[in-house]
Each structure stands twice: as C-alpha cells, then as structure tokens.
Amino acid sequence: MKYRLFYAEGTASKGIRIILEEVGANYELIPVTTDRNKPRSEEHIKLNPNGWVPVLTWGESSMYEAAAITIYLCDKYPKHELAPASNSDSRGIFLQTLVYFASSVQNAFQLDYYPDRFSDGKGCELSAQRRGHRRLRETWNIVDQQIGTKRFVLGDKFSAADIYLFMLTTWLKPERGQPSVSEFPNVERIADRVFERESTQLVYPKYKKL
C-alpha cells in the first residue's frame, strides 16, 4: 500500500513525513502551495475543504489534521512504539500533549502567521500578531514546565509527541518577535535529540536552529 502526503516545506506535513519514515511506510509526496493567493487543486479541496496541508491518503481513504494523522499512524504501526498503547497509563499524557500542541501552540502560531483569521480588518492584524507572540511564550512555557527534567515528553521513552514538538520548534522565528526555542530549555533539549534522528535529518536536511 502506498500513502500520498499532500506536502509543503515549513508546514505540519513535515512532521507526518518523519513518522512515515520512522515506520518505513511507502509514500509519495504531493507538492502543494500554501500561498493563499494561489488556487488549490480540485482534488485537494475535495479532500480538505480548508485547502490546508497535511492531507494523507491511502487506498480509498483520506484524512487531515496533523495531530489526528499522527495518532492514526502510530496506532497503525504499533511495533514501532511511537505511542503508548491505548490502555496504558501514559496514553493520557500522550493525547493531552498532542491536542495541546494542535489546539493551543499551533493556534498561537496562527495568530502571528494568519492574523486575518483572528481580526476584523487590516487595522487589527498587528494586535493579533503581538498577542500571538505573547501566546507563544505562554504556551511554550507550559510545555517546558510539563517536560521538566524528563528525557522525552513522556519520560524515558521517545514518542511521536517528541517529533511533533520538534516540528513546532522549527516554526519559531525570533526575528518576527516570537520567542526563541532557547527560552524553553527543556523543549530545546528534546528538539535537539529529535533532530539527531535519521528520519528527521532526511526530512529537514537544511534546518538550522535560530
């Protein structure tokens, strides 16, 4: 079976690609634009009416939403142990972290990268962006405290939550007024570990931490 991943540089589709690499899946990248002034293909809009990436397809099936795809793939390939089993104690913190990433940390990024979604008219966009910068500090601080002295998000064991964390750190741009990853030393420690993995090196060959 071959997956198709609707893919663009600098987006959440890269985290999904790392997981596909980790589990040794057969996949094809479907390059798409994230330029909001350019049209999406008919197929893309049919699969995700938002016109966003990532979208994953296999056989006759498809899904979107990066956190949901992450959980789906981890559960489909349990032997790679990228997620705790559904009846294990650490499953709770795994799901909590992924949902927090998707709903709170990503939302903070969106305030800065897509201010028009959060403001009524151009005049308010700067305010949304400034709030986004503060919100990034608030949410990353919470993640940093949650990690504490742990080796990985879940403790001693590496998981897809660490991959997701790494992907999100690559979006931090201090030159825009966002915090630097170095403000969150526990997050940075895990991101550095994820970056050393072969799968990450393949997906992020040019990445340089800011």
Half-sphere exposure of 201 (CA within 13 A, CB side): 4
What is the distance, to the nearest Å, from the Cα of residue 26 to the centroid of all Cα atoms in its chain?
Answer: 21
What type of residue sits at position 131?
R
Residue 163 C-beta: closest distance to ligand GSH, Å: 14
Can the peptide bond before residue 54 be classed as cis, meaning omega within 30 degrees of 0?
A: yes
SS3 category, 57: strand
Binding mask 147-186 for ligand GSH (x = CB under 6 A): ----------------------------------------
What does the block give as tokens for 118?
């959060």
What track of x and - describes contact with ligand GSH for positions 9 through 38 (by CB under 6 A)?
--xx---------------------x-x--
Euclidean distance between CA atoms 160 and 26, whole angstroms: 18
Nearer to ligand GSH, 76 or 145 (CB): 76
Give the Å distances, CA to CA, from 118 to 7, 15, 155.
25, 25, 36
Query: Judged by CB, which is closer to ligand GSH: 19, or 102?
Result: 102
Shorter beta-carbon distance to ligand GSH: residue 29 or 189: 29
- Among 5, 19, 20, 66, indicate the residue that binds ligand GSH (CB under 6 A): 66
Q: Residues 53, 136, 168, 181: which binds ligand GSH (CB under 6 A)?
A: 53
Q: Choose one: 58-66, 75-83, 159-167, 202-210; the region binding ligand GSH (CB under 6 A).
A: 58-66
Query: Which of 3, 27, 52, 166 forms a contact with ligand GSH (CB under 6 A)?
Result: 52
Alpha carbon distance 13, 33 (integer Å): 12
Which of 4, 58, 65, 118 lies at the binding interface for ligand GSH (CB under 6 A)?
65
- What pairs with residue 155 in β-bridges? 152
Q: Cα–Cα distances in Å, from 135 out to 14, 47, 72, 175?
A: 23, 31, 28, 16
| Binding residues for ligand GSH restricted to 88-147, rule: CB under 6 A | 102, 106
- Smallest gap from Cβ 52 to ligand GSH, in A, equals 3
DSSP element (H, E) containing 63: strand 61-64
Q: Which residues bind ligand GSH (CB under 6 A)?
A: 11-12, 34, 36, 51-54, 64-66, 102, 106
